[in-house]
């Protein structure tokens, strides 16, 4: 029995962590064996790469270095954790995956999104998400949530406003490109409502 890979995407502050936790509880109660992962990270090598990527010391990091580090952490995660878990029939929920790289490093940083797509393919091989939940909301809602976390901002959180707009647009472009896989869920409402919408989506798309 092959497991499933569900990825959650969206800009910082879109509520991924809460919704992932709620979905895991629901899948647990339905009897699935669920594992939650986050990118970048999830393996010893990946966590070291994560520290390099997010450290506010690394202001001189080039955009290409950043892209390749995300892909390196991902290749490690797929090989060490995601593939074995899926082969064991488990449900894997990943907090960010390939679409974040297209949105942030592609549209955000200005690297050709097609090139990013190809590097994603190199990192994941045949492990393509069965379902991608893109959490999105009217911009005003997101802005309020994001401003609350400015105190603990990491290197990527510190990018200027234009970067966030481009990233947001990047997710929309990815959704247009992969409409079967990527589903937009409106997160600008009560979290229980958003959760119900996600459960409906999972029921519909992952028989
Ligand atoms: P983290 O604190 O884990 O994210 P979140 O805001 O989702 O809790 O930090 C991850 C940061 O890395 C986040 O700002 C998004 C960014 N990122 C990329 O730029 N490219 C990628 O491929 C991934 C996976 C994340």
pLDDT in tens, 18-42: 999 999 999 999 999 999 999 999 9
- Distance of CA 95 from the midpoint of ligand 1 (Å): 9
- Residue whose CA lies nearest to ligand 1 atom number 5: 12
d(CA 92, CA 30): 15
Can you give the pLDDT at residue 162? Answer: 87
Structure tokens that stand for 109 in this block = 């940083």
The pairs formed by 53-62 with CB atoms below 8 angstroms and a separation of 24 or more are 53/155, 53/156, 54/154, 54/155, 54/156, 55/154, 55/155, 56/153, 56/154, 56/155, 56/158, 58/155, 59/155, 61/155
| Cβ < 6 A, ligand 1 pocket | 12, 16, 38-40, 54, 70, 96, 100-101, 104-105, 154, 156-157
3-state secondary structure of 77: helix
Can you give the pLDDT at residue 132? Answer: 98
Can you give the pLDDT at residue 17? Answer: 95
- Distance of CA 39 from the midpoint of ligand 1 (Å): 7
What the chain holds in terms of domains, given with CATH numbers, is 4-205 (3.40.50.300)
Residue 181: exposure state from Cβ atoms within 10 A (0-12, 13-18, ≥19): middle
Structure tokens that stand for 50 in this block = 């994560």
pLDDT, tens digit, 9 for 90 and up, residues 82-131: 999 999 999 999 999 999 999 999 999 999 999 999 999 999 999 999 99
Q: What is the pTM of this model?
A: 0.93
User: How many residues appear in the chain?
Assistant: 207
Ligand 1 binding pocket mutation candidate from 93, 96, 159 (most atoms within 8 A of CB): 96
- Ligand 1 atom nearest to 17, measured from its CA: 8
- Ligand 1 atom nearest to 13, measured from its CA: 6
DSSP 142-174: HHHHHHTTGGG--TTTTS-HHHHHHHHHHHHHH
């Amino acid at each position: 029995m092959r497991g499933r890979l569900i990825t959650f995407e969206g800009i910082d502050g879109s509520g991924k962590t809460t919704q992932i936790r709620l979905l895991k509880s629901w899948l647990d109660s339905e009897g699935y064996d669920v594992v939650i992962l986050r990118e970048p990270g999830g393996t010893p090598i990946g966590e070291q790469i994560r520290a390099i990527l997010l450290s506010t010391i690394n202001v001189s990091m080039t955009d290409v270095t950043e892209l390749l580090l995300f892909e390196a952490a991902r290749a490690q995660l797929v090989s060490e954790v995601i593939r074995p878990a899926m082969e064991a029939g488990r449900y894997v929920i990943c907090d960010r995956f390939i679409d974040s790289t297209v949105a942030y490093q592609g549209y955000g940083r200005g690297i050709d999104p097609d090139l990013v797509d190809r590097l994603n393919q190199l990192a994941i091989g045949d492990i393509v998400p069965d379902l991608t939940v893109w959490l999105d909301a009217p911009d005003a809602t997101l802005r309020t949530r994001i401003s609350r976390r400015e105190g603990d901002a990491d290197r990527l959180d510190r990018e200027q406003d234009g970067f966030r707009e481009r990233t947001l647009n990047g997710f929309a472009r990815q959704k247009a490109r992969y409409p079967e896989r990527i589903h937009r869920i409106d997160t600008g409402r009560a979290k229980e409502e958003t959760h119900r919408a996600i459960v409906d989506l999972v029921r519909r798309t992952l028989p």
